[in-house]
Amino acid sequence: MSRVAVTYRVSVRPSDVAAVAEGIALEQSVELPASALHDAEIQANIAGRVAGIRQRGEELFDVDVELAAATMGGDVAQTINMLFGNSSLHAHVELVDVRFPEDLLAALTGPRFGARGFRDVVGAHDRPLTCAALKPQGMSVESLAQLCETLARAGIDVVKDDHGLADQAYSPFLPRVQACQRAVDRAFAATGHRAIYAPSVVGAPRRVAEQIHIARDAGTHALLLAPSLLGLPAFAELVHNAVEVPVIAHPSFGGATRIAHPLLIGTLYRALGADAVIFPHASGRFAPPASQCRELAVRARAPLGKLLPALPVPAGGLQLDSLGEVITFYGRDVMLLVGGSLLADPSHVGDRAARFVAAVREASLARDGARA
Amino acid sequence: MSRVAVTYRVSVRPSDVAAVAEGIALEQSVELPASALHDAEIQANIAGRVAGIRQRGEELFDVDVELAAATMGGDVAQTINMLFGNSSLHAHVELVDVRFPEDLLAALTGPRFGARGFRDVVGAHDRPLTCAALKPQGMSVESLAQLCETLARAGIDVVKDDHGLADQAYSPFLPRVQACQRAVDRAFAATGHRAIYAPSVVGAPRRVAEQIHIARDAGTHALLLAPSLLGLPAFAELVHNAVEVPVIAHPSFGGATRIAHPLLIGTLYRALGADAVIFPHASGRFAPPASQCRELAVRARAPLGKLLPALPVPAGGLQLDSLGEVITFYGRDVMLLVGGSLLADPSHVGDRAARFVAAVREASLARDGARA
């Protein structure tokens, strides 16, 4: 019987770890104590089992549990239910890794476009892509569209709505998306640079469905969606049934889990269909450990069944004067998102965006030079 | 302009708390540093503002932030985005309270049935209700239906699927739900006690929609749904657009947040439409602090705009011999969920369930006696 290998990181005293590990294996499968399991078939094929315990610190352990794939019923929601349903209620347990067996992996569809979905549109295949955000919310549709055009004319590859932009009265979704797409179209006509505008699609399911229609009618080339906010099962179904353009996943509400970010954002968002994944970079205002950022980027791009790689998008306070280091850190198959740093002085947004674009090209050339 | 009052609990050094508080207020609204905010209108009406900071421990503070209701666009997903989108990525920040202004509160619909939705069906208005679970998964449809009938004949009020039951090959949703509803119908014909069977509805959106149809056709009187697993926006929309019976909310995946459980389960699940909310009781295997359980139950039932109260359902390892204490703790407007403790010995499930039913009636009578 096929098993999913799951690793939980557990804060517990060494004397308790064996019982805690056994407890997780049962909680995430049959939800009964072993003493109440009377059916040999269920014990053998349905109950979770502990496959290993590795000490990582004085009171910190990695517990490997094998869960029966049959319990997951071929469904995203039920898979999450089995991976981390009740155990999420235990504050001392974190979900840090999931390894799907071949049959489940084959059922995952993953990104439909990957990095090429963005690269083909903007015509850039050999350098990091650049991304900027439209903000702050509260601006009018006209002001947002003007900012969008400024950024596109400066050569930014992907101009995305701030994830806080939804369908508010001061910049309703329909006119905003139409105006911003027209703005990148004007910039293309003027400069020959085809920028992608990615609207922020956020709402309860019916509203999201309407917004996806509006964005398609407006001709946008990508969408920004927050999988953890919409719900992971709803996100996966939307991407594969309703969206015809590349999807950028935003981590909003995704930190409100005890699922390690490399797994959640690098593996799971990708497995559910994200073509690009935004995450906080080590040097910014969220300051996760650099090792975590590296692992996340590795997971987004590493071979995983037949899944396309997803494009890592480090963000969260990148500064214009240290982009070289960031590119060295992630390599060139990356999209750099610089938000607030471009907008500090409203009269110089275009200049700063152009500096961003130039800095990425220069850093990229410098790397080529160093290699040659 | 209408504001939502939000409280974040922050682990931070006293010297840093003012800057961290200001950072949260900006992160959860305009997502720009104050220095990059040049529009007076946006500063005044859109940007979040710090309303107070209260020290709770040496390096622990409650930060009150007022967020503009206008940013939430009248939508569940966007409201969560603004309450805890990016700040969820800060491990030192927990969301502990939200107070909606009158206009937003009036837009929340909350429970459609509340406790009466269950009490009217089973005909019990003056005592705690009893609830038991069908498990372990891996059992056949026939075995589950037999267990369901045993529990209903013993007088259990609500027999629910274990939340791990989905649409697995060994007990597919359609035949399981039909068989279990027939089981409670047979018990009703035999004993005159009308038990409620609540199937576990779990899946990606299309599958959930199908399951809701199947459950309605089968004549079930309640449903079990996990709001955090389905996604909070999807849950709210489902309840109000597709479900015609009372909803029991299961906390699966809901612990995987840094949202305080009294707020998430007691207030938010209720506000989004749950008629009853399951949560771990202090004495069980999840062992949250008793004060947290009490606050959760208070929030589920306390006046909140025009919202009906939701029925608290303590669970997670309740033992038959201490039910009196639990009833004293929560009062009688409660539903007690006893799961594994009934199933320890397969040949005595009916006896133990009858003991559960009798214990609740006795404890309830004892309370009446003490009052008289």
DSSP state string for A345-369: SGGGHHHHHHHHHHHHHHHHHHHHH
Nearest CA in chain B to A133: B31
Q: Do B168 and A73 touch (CB under 8 A)?
A: yes
Task: Give the Cα-Cα-Cα angle B312, B318, B320 (nearest 5 degrees).
Answer: 120
Is residue B136 within 8 A of residue A30, CB to CB? The reply is: yes
According to DSSP, the residues that pair with A140 across neighbouring strands are none
Is residue A48 within 8 A of residue A100, CB to CB? The reply is: no
Does B33 lie at the interface with A, CB-CB under 8 angstroms? yes
Question: String of b and e for A37-61 (b: at least 16 CB within 10 Å)?
Answer: bebeebeeebbbbbeebeeeeeebb
Q: Do A231 and B233 touch (CB under 8 A)?
A: yes
Residues 144-183 of B with CB under 8 A from A: 162-164, 166-170
Distance of alpha carbon B167 from alpha carbon A29, whole angstroms: 14
Does B236 lie at the interface with A, CB-CB under 8 angstroms? yes
Distance of alpha carbon A257 from alpha carbon B235, whole angstroms: 18
Indicate the pLDDT class of residue B370, thresholds 50, 70 and 90: low
Residue A270: per-residue pLDDT: 94
Q: Average of pLDDT values for B163-178?
A: 96
Annotate A235-256 with DSSP letters as a single string.
HHHHHHHH--S-EEEP-TTTTS
Residue B52: per-residue pLDDT: 97
According to DSSP, the residues that pair with A93 across neighbouring strands are A10
- Which chain A residues are within 8 Å of B88, Cβ to Cβ? 252-257
Q: Average of pLDDT values for B20-48?
A: 94
Q: What is the C-alpha end-to-end distance of chain B, expressed in Å?
A: 51
* Separation of CA A237 from chain center: 16
Is residue A149 within 8 A of residue A188, CB to CB? The reply is: no
Tell me which residue in B77, B205, B316 faces A237 most closely, judged by beta carbons. Answer: B205
Distance of alpha carbon A277 from alpha carbon A296, whole angstroms: 10
Distance of alpha carbon A244 from alpha carbon A190, whole angstroms: 27
Nearest to residue B181, comparing CAs of B262, B137, B229, B121?
B121
Is B67 strand, coil or helix? Answer: strand
Distance of alpha carbon B241 from alpha carbon B273, whole angstroms: 11
Q: Do B32 and A169 touch (CB under 8 A)?
A: no
Distance of alpha carbon B28 from alpha carbon B79, whole angstroms: 10
Residues 188-217 of B with CB under 8 A from A: 202-208
Indicate the pLDDT class of residue B106, thresholds 50, 70 and 90: confident
Residue B12: per-residue pLDDT: 96
Nearest to residue B337, comparing CAs of B124, B115, B128?
B128
Is residue B86 within 8 A of residue B25, CB to CB? The reply is: no
Interface test with B, best of A4, A24, A32 (most B CBs within 10 A): A32
Distance of alpha carbon A25 from alpha carbon A87, whole angstroms: 10
List the structure tokens of B21: 């508080």
- Which chain A residues are within 8 Å of B208, Cβ to Cβ? 77
Nearest to residue B231, comparing CAs of A47, A229, A49?
A229
- Which helix (DSSP H) or strand (DSSP E) does residue A160 occupy? strand A158-161
Is residue A52 within 8 A of residue A21, CB to CB? The reply is: no
Q: Is the pLDDT of residue B35 over 80?
A: yes
Distance of alpha carbon A188 from alpha carbon A180, whole angstroms: 12
Size of interface A-B (CB pairs under 8 A): 295
Distance of alpha carbon B251 from alpha carbon A81, whole angstroms: 10
Task: Give the Cα-Cα-Cα angle A227, A134, B28 (nearest 5 degrees).
Answer: 60
Distance of alpha carbon A56 from alpha carbon A39, whole angstroms: 35
Q: Do A205 and B205 touch (CB under 8 A)?
A: yes
Alpha helices in chain B (DSSP H): 17-27, 40-45, 76-84, 102-107, 115-122, 141-153, 173-191, 205-218, 227-230, 232-242, 261, 269-272, 290-301, 323-330, 349-371
Q: Do B203 and A75 touch (CB under 8 A)?
A: yes
Nearest to residue B361, comparing CAs of B129, B131, B120?
B129
Q: Average of pLDDT values for B27-36?
A: 92
Q: Is the pLDDT of residue B108 over 70?
A: yes
Indicate the pLDDT class of residue B346, thresholds 50, 70 and 90: confident
**Rg of the Cα trace of chain B?**
22
According to DSSP, the residues that pair with A65 across neighbouring strands are A6, A50
Is B343 strand, coil or helix? Answer: coil
Nearest to residue A228, comparing CAs of A265, A259, A253, A202?
A253
Distance of alpha carbon A101 from alpha carbon A67, whole angstroms: 11
Q: Average of pLDDT values for B348-353?
A: 96
Is B247 strand, coil or helix? Answer: strand
Distance of alpha carbon B15 from alpha carbon B38, whole angstroms: 28
CA distance B345 to chain A (A): 7
Q: Do B344 and A35 touch (CB under 8 A)?
A: yes
Judged by average pLDDT, the poorest of A221-230, B173-182, B190-199, B358-367 is B358-367
Amino acid at B27: E
Tell me which residue in A77, A163, A254 faces B202 most closely, judged by beta carbons. Answer: A77
Residue B372: per-residue pLDDT: 52
Residue B203: per-residue pLDDT: 93
List the structure tokens of B44: 């005044």
Residue B73: per-residue pLDDT: 85
Distance of alpha carbon B148 from alpha carbon B132, whole angstroms: 9
Residue B363: per-residue pLDDT: 85
- From residue B346, give the alpha-carbon distance in Å to each of B131, B199, B342, B343, B360: 18, 22, 9, 6, 22
Does A40 lie at the interface with B, CB-CB under 8 angstroms? no
Amino acid at A239: V
Distance of alpha carbon A268 from alpha carbon A261, whole angstroms: 10
Residue A370: per-residue pLDDT: 67
Per-block mean pLDDT, blocks of 10 residues, chain A (372 long): 93 96 95 91 96 97 96 91 91 91 86 94 95 95 98 97 95 98 98 97 94 98 95 93 95 84 92 94 87 95 92 92 92 93 91 96 78 56
Taking each helix axis from N to C end, the angle separating A323-330 and A290-301, rounded to the nearest 10 degrees, works out to 50
List the structure tokens of A46: 């349905």
Residues 324-353 of A with CB under 8 A from B: 339-340, 343-344, 346
| Residue in this structure with the two tokens 């004397």, named with its chain if needed | A15
